[in-house]
Amino acid sequence: MDRVGDYGPTARSRDAHSGNVRTYGQYCPIALAAEVFAQRWTPIIIRNLHLGCVHFGEILDGAPGLPRSVLAERLRRLEHDGVVERSANGHATCYALTEMGRELSEVCLALGVWGARWREAAPEDQDPYLALWTMSRLIDPASLPRPRVVVRFEVRRSRGPDRFWMLLQRTGNEVCVKPPGFPDDGVVTADTASLVRWYAGQLGLAAARETGSMSVVAPPWLERELCRWGRLSPYADVEPVRARPAVS
């Protein structure tokens, strides 16, 4: 007597896992899309490419904890699937989203809207470096009032303050953990939670300064820029749904 498990969906799923590439073995478009998108680190890689990362190291900088070997494997897979294209610029290898990849990045952004509304990062997962790195990627160098802007961030943490420099210039933006060699235009002091909420557009600079969770020492032109930067997140207007108490 034939068993359903030998010929039905269970068997197809099992056989689909026998090769190097894991699939669901289904026609369903959601399953087909998930085979590309729903792998660990893949949405983060697509996000970083969407933010303008071109080189391997840039993608890695915006993904703390991502092993180099895993990034290399994911990029090869995404290139094979037609999501990413690779090109050479001199001795450097460059990566970019294809038309397919750019459309997939819209899915990534939509997923971020859902995450901003329904999920909340645990305090230990709030990374000030990543918040500043992402913000630096959202700031258009052409919008800067000066050719170079340097802001030092003093982040208050339980183990002691962390210090970062946001270096913004026409040739590109970056976040440094050591002095970049240029004078500071201003200094922002904040705790991690307030810094992350400011970056996410959930806390205005004026409100943060009024409560004392953030302080700014900067000329007026830079204060205006800081206020503007705090509204650049694509999720700044997403109203989070507060966690509801469990029903006993």
Q: Contact at 8 Å (CB) between 173 and 167? A: yes
> What is the C-alpha separation between 122 and 131, in angstroms, rounded?
14
Residues contacting 103, CB < 8 A, separation 6+: none
Q: Contact at 8 Å (CB) between 216 and 209? A: yes
Q: In CATH, what number does 39-118 get?
A: 1.10.10.10
Q: Which two tokens stand for residue 180?
A: 């970049």
**Element (DSSP H or E) covering residue 91:** none
Q: 189: which strand partners?
A: 154, 215
SS3 labels along 191-219: EHHHHHHHHCCCCCHHHHHHHCCEEEECC
What is the model's pLDDT at position 24?
83
| Structure confidence by residue, pLDDT tens digits, 150-160 | 999 999 886 66
Closest by CA to 77, choosing from 41, 28, 50, is 41
CB atoms near residue 197 (< 10 Å): 21
Q: 126: which strand partners?
A: none
Q: What is the pTM of this model?
A: 0.85
Q: Rounded mean pLDDT of the chain?
A: 89
> What is the C-alpha separation between 81 and 61, in angstroms, rounded?
24
Domain positions in the chain: 39-118, 123-229
Confidence of residue 25 (pLDDT cuts 50, 70, 90): confident
| 173 pLDDT higher than 80 | yes
| Structure confidence by residue, pLDDT tens digits, 97-134 | 999 999 999 999 999 999 999 999 899 899 999 999 99
Instruction: Assign a CATH topology to domain 123-229.
Output: Nonspecific Lipid-transfer Protein; Chain A (3.30.1050)
